[in-house]
Amino acid sequence: MKGLGAGVVLVGLIVFVLGLLQTPLGDMLVRPASSAEYLAALQNKALLTHTGLAFLIMGTVVSTGAAIVDAIKRR
């Protein structure tokens, strides 16, 4: 289970970083877009970063829970 938690944390980190790397402002400098396109880009960025954070939290909870269960079993 600790490995599963670590894998979920890794996926969360990757998704979070990908969300941070999406820069709608950079796209706006290259090609002026409508406000609807800009808002859609911001929503995509927010969705990716929040999904990444959710995976980070879930993976941390799973890893911590697995470590606690292992510690209790060893007693």
13-71 pLDDT, tens digit each: 998 888 888 766 665 566 666 778 778 888 888 888 899 999 999 999 999 999 999 99
How far is residue 12's CA from residue 50's CA, in Å, rounded to a whole number?
Answer: 9
Count Cβ neighbours within 10 Å for each residue of 23-48 and write b for 16 or more, e otherwise: ebeeeeeeeeeeeeeeeebeeebeeb
pTM: 0.72
Write out the two tokens for 33: 């877009």
* Contact indicator for 62, 3 with CB cutoff of 8 Å: no
Q: So what's the pLDDT on residue 22?
A: 77
Q: pLDDT band at residue 72, thresholds of 50, 70 and 90?
A: very high
- Domain around 36: 2-74
Q: So what's the pLDDT on residue 30?
A: 63
Q: So what's the pLDDT on residue 51?
A: 92
Question: Domains in the chain: how many in total?
Answer: 1
How far is residue 3's CA from residue 59's CA, in Å, rounded to a whole number?
Answer: 9
